[in-house]
Amino acid sequence: MVTVVRLALLVQAAATQYPLAPSPVLDTRTLTRELRLGGYVSVRQTLRRDTLTAIVNRARLTAHVLPAPFAALRVQVDFTATGFARADTVPAILLTDAYIQLVPPATPAGNGARVLRPALIVGQFRTPFALEFLTPFSLLQTANRSQPIDRHTTRRDIGVLGQLAVGGGHMVTFTGALVNGEGSNRLTNPDGREMAIGRLTVFPLARLAVAAKYLGQGRDHRWGYDVRWLDHGALVEGEFLARRGPLTNTTTVDARGGYALAAYRIRPWLQPVLKWEHLRDRRTTGATTSTSSLSYTTVGINFLSSGDGIRLLVDGIYKSEPAVFTGVELEVQLIAIF
């Protein structure tokens, strides 16, 4: 019983630490040969004009294990997938992560910054492109990811990923992946075109990460950069991305946008947040070209328990998206991490 309690506490501590440079690569030093379970549940209420909705938008269970010093396994399932069902073709329980990670035996201490820490992942994982998507949903500073990221970045996919970290991951990290490009839980690749993704992160300061990224699949090209700074309760981050190429078989897209976010813990349990995001999207179908743009501003306040195991996010969002919606929306989201 004592062991179970200790493992639960370790899971919570690991899960609630906001990452400077998030990555699908697991820190094997935090894993054991015993199966470790964790996860989170998220409940959201949305008020827009005269409409009020409440849903359980996430319910995820994660399992980690270290069967050998050089191998780690991660499996995660989502129990809220019923809301995404299309003609009952999507099961109620959806597999999100399922991969094995291989690392070389531990290197002797004292090798300095020249030591490379390689890791190889095979399976289904988060694609190493957007900073905001690589950050776990349960740790986001606002209830929603930004629209440029949500609409034009990749999510999870099936393939292989390699990572090299110089200086124990405190100087330079390169992450590259080759995936099907079809998304999660799709074992086939009908068009036969793989998607290549690369992300280079440098650390000019101990609590500052700056990254550049690129993605290519046929004529579909996406690129961008991002930055994140953490220090003494303060958080500043921003991300830019652009996309050019086919959106569908008949439509091409030329889009660019990003977001900027600042947050500060004025008390251990109280954190105001300010976020601005913008997206410009131009699409061409045949001889017809349409251009749209949006700007969202989020003013939020986060209430946090000790250890951040319970997080209550209250966001007021001013949305300006002509022809879609312009006005204020209130989001209240409660997240319990276990």
| E-assigned strand segments in 208-287 | 208-217, 220-231, 234-246, 251-264, 270-285
pLDDT at residue 84 tops 80: no
Q: Residues 42-51: what's their mean pLDDT?
A: 92
pLDDT at 106: 65
- Mean pLDDT computed over every residue of the chain: 90
Q: Which of 155, 107, 90 is nearest to 129 (CA)?
A: 155
The conformation of residue 218, written as its DSSP 8-state character, comes to T
| E-assigned strand segments in 79-194 | 94-102, 116-126, 156-166, 172-179
pLDDT at 206: 93
pLDDT at residue 42 tops 90: yes
Which of the pair, 113 or 260, is modelled with greater confidence? 260
Asked whether 274 and 299 are in contact (CB, 8 A), the reply is yes
pLDDT at residue 54 tops 60: yes
Q: Which of 106, 183, 141, 149 is nearest to 255 (CA)?
A: 149
- Gap between the Cα atoms of 129 and 133, Å rounded: 8
The conformation of residue 192, written as its DSSP 8-state character, comes to -
pLDDT at residue 141 tops 90: yes
Let me know if 338 is exposed, middle or buried by CB neighbors in 10 A (0-12, 13-18, 19+).
middle
Q: Which of 20-24, 32-36, 47-51 has the lowest mean pLDDT?
A: 47-51
pTM exceeding 0.85: yes
pLDDT at residue 7 tops 60: no
pLDDT classification of 4: cutoffs 50, 70, 90? very low
pLDDT classification of 15: cutoffs 50, 70, 90? very low
pLDDT classification of 79: cutoffs 50, 70, 90? very high
Asked whether 72 and 66 are in contact (CB, 8 A), the reply is yes
